[in-house]
Structure 1
Amino acid sequence: MRRQILMASAALALVSASPAFAQEISPTEAESIQQRLTRYLPREMIDAGLVTVKAASSFYELRFNPAVLLDKAKTGAVKLEGLKPMTAYLRPMPEGTYRIEANDSLDIKGSVDIADGKNSFSYVVDSMKLDGIYDPEILYFTSADWSARRLAFSSTSPKESVTASFGETAMRVEAEKKDAGTLDISSTGVMKAFAETITGGPSGRVDIGADTVDIDVSMDGARYKVVQDLVFFVLDNMDKDKLEAADATRLKDLLRASLPVFDNLTETIKASNVTVGTEKGTFGAETVSYNLAMNGIAHSTRFGFGFGVEKPKPPAGVLPAAYEGALPERATFKAAVADLDLAGAVTYLIEHADFTKPEPLTEEQNKEIGRIILPGGAMTVEFEDVSAVSPIYDVHLAGKMLVYPEDKDRHSADVTITMRSFDKTVAYLQQNAAAVPQFGQAAFGLLMMKGLARDAGDGAQAWDLTVGEDGKVLINGRPLPFQQ
Structure 2
Amino acid sequence: MRLKLVTATSLLALCLVTTAQSAEINQDGANAVKDTLTKLLPEDMAKSGFISVNPAGTRYEIIYDLAKLLTKVDPAKFAISGLTPFSTFATPLDSGLWNIEGDNKLNVSGHFKDPDQKTTNFTYSIASIVYSGVFDPAISYLRSGTFAIKDVKVASKSEIAEVSARIASMDHKLSSTDSSGGNGRIDFVGSASMSGFVEQVSSLQMPPIELRAGSIHVDAKVNGLPAKQIREMVFFALEHLDEKELSAENTDKIKAIVKEAFPLLTSFSETIGVNDLAVINEMGKGGAKAFGYNLAIEGPSDAMRFGFGMNAQEISLDTPLMPANYAPFMPTNFDFQLAVPNLDFASFGDALMAVDFNDKAPEKTGEEMAKKLFRDGLLMVEFPKVSAKSEVYDLDMTGKIEGRIDTEKDYSMEATILARDLDKTIAAVQELAKTDPDLNQVSFGIMMVKGFAKTDADGRSRWDISVSRDGAVVVNGQQIKGPDGPDQDQGLETEQEPDQGQDTVPAPPQQP
Q: TM-score, normalised by structure 2?
A: 0.83
Q: CA deviation at 1:72?
A: 5.2
User: What is the aligned partner in structure 2 of residue 183 from structure 1?
Assistant: 186
Kindly indicate whether residue 80 of structure 2 is the aligned counterpart of residue 80 of structure 1: yes
Q: Which amino acid aligns with 2:381?
A: V
Segments of structure 1 that go 5 or more residues without pairing to the other structure are none
**More divergent stretch after superposition (426-435 vs 143-152):** 426-435
Question: What residue is the counterpart of 1:386 in the other structure?
Answer: 386
SS in structure 2 of the partner of residue 260 of structure 1: coil
Alignment of 1:212-231 (within 5 A): 212-231=215-234
The equivalent residue for 1:309 is: 312
- Shift in CA distance, 120/467, structure 1 to aligned 2, threshold 3 Å: farther
In 2: Cα distance, 1:476 partner to 1:67 partner: 71
Query: Using the alignment, how far apart are the partners of 1:482 and 1:451 within structure 2?
Result: 19
State the secondary structure of the residue aligned to 1:466: strand
CA-CA distance at 1:226 after TM superposition = 2.1
Quickly say closer, same or farther: Cα 1:14–1:435, change in 2 above 3 A: same
Offset at 1:181? 1.4
Aligned-partner Cα distance in 1 for 2:403–2:118: 45
2:150 & 2:265 partners in 1: Cα distance?
34
- State the match for 1:163 in structure 2: 164
Equivalent runs, 1:439-458 vs 2, <5 Å: 441-458=441-458
Matching of residues 105-116 of structure 1 within 5 Å: 105-109=105-109, 110-115=111-116
1: CA distance, partners of 2:287 / 2:478: 43
The alignment yields a C-alpha RMSD, in angstroms, of: 3.1
**1:60, distance to aligned residue in structure 2 (A):** 0.4
Aligned to 1:457, what secondary structure does the other structure show? Answer: coil
Aligned to 2:349: 346
Aligned to 1:14: 16
Q: Which residue of 1 aligns with 2:502?
A: none
- Superposed CA deviations along residues 193-212 of structure 1, whole A, max 9, x for unmatched, are 11111112644111111111
Contact 2:283 2:319 (8 Å CA) reproduced: no
Offset of 1:10 from its aligned partner? 2.9
Amino acid at match of 2:368: E
Counterpart code for 1:171: H
TM-aligned CA deviation for residue 119 of structure 1:
2.9
Q: Give the stretch that moved more between structures: 95-104 or 375-384.
A: 375-384
Distance 1:173 1:436 in 2: 56
Indicate the structure whose relative CO is greater, using CA pairs within 8 Å and at least 6 residues apart: 1
Cα distance in 2 between the residues matched to 1:148 and 1:283: 29
Mark the CA change 1:446 to 1:157 in structure 2 (over 3 Å): closer, same or farther: same
Q: Which residue of 2 aligns with 1:270?
A: 273
Deviates more, 1:376-385 or 1:171-180: 376-385
Call closer, same or farther: CA 1:482–1:444 in 2, change over 3 Å.
Answer: farther
User: Is the CA contact 1:79–1:112 (under 8 Å) kept in the aligned structure 2?
Assistant: no
Could you give the per-residue CA deviations for residues 402-434 of structure 1, whole angstroms, max 9, x where no partner exists?
Answer: 455543455443222122333443344445553
Aligned partner letter, 1:219: V
Q: Aligned with 1:290: secondary structure?
A: strand
Whether the 8 Å contact between 1:433 and 1:440 is mirrored in structure 2 is yes
Q: Find the aligned partners of 1:160 and 1:443 in 2 and give their Cα distance.
A: 47
Q: 1:190 Cα shift? A: 1.4
Aligned to 2:18, the other structure's residue is in SS state: coil
Task: Name the counterpart of 1:98.
Answer: 98
Q: Is the 8 A contact 2:107 2:126 kept in 1?
A: yes
Structure 1 equivalent of residue 89 of structure 2: 89
Q: Secondary structure at the match of 1:155?
A: strand
In structure 2, C-alpha distance between the alignment counterparts of 1:460 and 1:13, rounded to whole Å: 57
Q: Equivalent residue for 2:288?
A: 285
Q: Secondary structure at the match of 2:12?
A: helix
Letter of the structure 2 residue corresponding to residue 324 of structure 1: A
Q: Shift of the alpha carbon at 1:104?
A: 1.3
Residue 9 of structure 1 contacts residue 140 of structure 1 at CA under 8 Å; is this kept in 2? Answer: no
In structure 2, what is the Cα distance between the partners aligned to 1:92 and 1:255?
31
Q: 1:370 to 1:202 in 2, by over 3 A?
A: farther
Tell me how far 1:74 sits from its aligned partner: 6.4
Query: How big is the shift at 1:258?
Result: 0.8
The 1:237–1:318 alpha-carbon spacing in structure 2 relative to 1, beyond 3 Å, is closer
Higher mean C-alpha displacement, 21-30 vs 419-428: 419-428
Please state whether the residue corresponding to 2:354 is helix, strand or coil.
helix
Tell me which residue corresponds to 1:324: 327
Answer with 1 or 2: which has the greater Rg. Answer: 2
Please give the residue correspondences for 1:372-451 in structure 2 after superposition, counting only pairs within 5 Å.
Answer: 372-390=372-390, 392-402=392-402, 404=404, 406-430=406-430, 433-434=433-434, 437=437, 441-451=441-451
For 1:415, the aligned partner's letter is A
User: Where do 1:102-251 residues align within 5 Å?
Assistant: 102-109=102-109, 110-115=111-116, 117-178=118-179, 179-200=182-203, 202-251=205-254
1:310 partner amino acid: Q
Give, in whole Å, the separation in 1 of the partners of 2:82 and 2:427.
65
In the other structure, the counterpart of 2:496 is none
Residues 390 and 304 (structure 1), Cα distance of their counterparts in 2 relative to 1, 3 Å cut = same
CA contact (8 A) 1:169 1:192 kept: yes
- The percent identity for this pair of structures is 28
Work out the CA distance in 2 between the residues paired with 1:143 and 1:201: 46
Indicate the larger mover: 128-137 or 431-440: 431-440
CA deviation profile, 1:246-272 (whole Å, cap 9, x unmatched): 332222221111111111222222211
What CA distance in whole angstroms lies between the structure 1 residues aligned with 2:206 and 2:451? 45
TM-score scaled by structure 1?
0.88
The change in CA–CA distance for 1:411 and 1:118 in structure 2 (over 3 A counts) is farther
Q: Does 1:474 align with 2:479?
A: no
Pairwise CA distance, 1:166:
0.8
Flag structure 2 segments of 5+ consecutive residues without an equivalent.
485-512
- 8 Å contact 1:322–1:436 — kept in the other structure? no
Higher deviation after alignment, 74-83 or 214-223: 74-83
Question: Structure 1 residues 204-213 or 173-182, which shifts more?
Answer: 173-182
